[in-house]
Amino acid sequence: MQNLSEGNSLKVILNFTMPMLIGNVFQQLYNVIDSIIVGNFLGKEALSAVGASFPVMFALISLVIGIASGSTIIISQYFGAKDFQKVKIAIDTMYVVIFVASILISIIGISFSEDIFRLIELPETIIPQAKTYLNIILAGIIMMFGSSGTNAVLRGLGDSKTPLYFLVFASILNIIFDLLFVLVFKLGIEGVAIATVLSQAIAFLSAVVYLNKYHELINISLTSFKIDKDIFIKSVKIGLPSGLQNMFVAVGMIAIYRIVNQFDTNVIAAYSVAGRIDSFAIMPAMNFSMALTVFVGQNIGAGKMNRVWEGLKATLLLTSIISITFSLIAVFFGKYLMRIFTPDEAVQLIGYNYLVIVGLFYIIFSAMFSFNAVYRGAGDTIVPMFITLFALWFIRIPFSWFLSQKIGETGIWWGIPIAWAFGLTISAFYFASGRWKRKSIIN
The angle formed by the CA atoms of residues 347, 351 and 352, to the nearest 5 degrees, is 120
Cα 167 from Cα 174, distance rounded (Å): 10
Classify residue 114: in a domain, yes or no: yes
Classify residue 3: in a domain, yes or no: no
Q: What percent of the chain has pLDDT over 70?
A: 96
Cα 276 from Cα 33, distance rounded (Å): 10
The angle formed by the CA atoms of residues 199, 200 and 205, to the nearest 5 degrees, is 105
Does the pLDDT value for residue 440 go beyond 70? no
> For 409-434, how does the pLDDT look when each residue is reduced to its tens digit (9 = 90+)?
999 999 999 999 999 999 999 888 87
Mean pLDDT of 357-375: 93
- Which one has a higher pLDDT value, 378 or 110? 110
Does the pLDDT value for residue 364 go beyond 70? yes
Classify residue 2: in a domain, yes or no: no
Half-sphere exposure at residue 48, Cβ-oriented, CA atoms within 13 angstroms: 25
Does the pLDDT value for residue 89 go beyond 80? yes
Give the pLDDT of residue 305.
82
Among 234-248, 269-283, 315-329, 396-410, whose mean pLDDT is lowest? 234-248
Give the pLDDT of residue 408.
93
Cα 192 from Cα 203, distance rounded (Å): 17
Cα 276 from Cα 27, distance rounded (Å): 12
| Structural domains of the chain, count | 1
Classify residue 1: in a domain, yes or no: no
CB atoms within 10 A of CB 240: 17
Q: Which pLDDT band, with edges at 50, 70 and 90, does 442 fall under?
A: low
Can you tell me whether residue 440 is helix, strand or coil? coil
CB 403 within 8 A of CB 411: yes
Does the pLDDT value for residue 171 go beyond 80? yes
Half-sphere exposure at residue 425, Cβ-oriented, CA atoms within 13 angstroms: 9
Classify residue 190: in a domain, yes or no: yes
- Which one has a higher pLDDT value, 419 or 58? 419
Classify residue 328: in a domain, yes or no: yes
> For 370-414, how does the pLDDT look when each residue is reduced to its tens digit (9 = 90+)?
999 888 888 777 888 888 888 989 999 999 999 999 999 999 999
Residues 6+ apart with CB under 8 A from 168: 22, 23, 26
Please, which contacts does 433-438 make with residues 24 or more away whose CB atoms are closer than 8 Å? 435/380, 435/383, 436/374, 436/375, 436/378, 436/380, 436/383, 437/305, 437/378, 438/380
Q: Which pLDDT band, with edges at 50, 70 and 90, does 115 fall under?
A: very high
Q: Cα torsion at 305, 366, 253, 351 (round to 10°)? A: -170
Classify residue 178: in a domain, yes or no: yes
Average pLDDT over the chain reads 85
Give the pLDDT of residue 2.
61
Give the pLDDT of residue 56.
82
DSSP string for residues in 165-180:
HHHHHHHHHHHHHHII
Among 113-117, 246-250, 430-434, whose mean pLDDT is lowest? 246-250
> For 119-170, how does the pLDDT look when each residue is reduced to its tens digit (9 = 90+)?
888 888 889 999 999 999 999 999 888 888 888 788 777 787 888 888 888 8
The angle formed by the CA atoms of residues 337, 343 and 349, to the nearest 5 degrees, is 60
Mean pLDDT of 318-322: 94
Residue 301 burial (10 A CB sphere; 0-12, 13-18, 19+) = buried
Give the pLDDT of residue 439.
61
Half-sphere exposure at residue 321, Cβ-oriented, CA atoms within 13 angstroms: 7
> For 42-54, how does the pLDDT look when each residue is reduced to its tens digit (9 = 90+)?
888 888 888 888 7
Q: Which domain holds residue 328?
A: 9-439
CB 311 within 8 A of CB 299: yes
Classify residue 225: in a domain, yes or no: yes
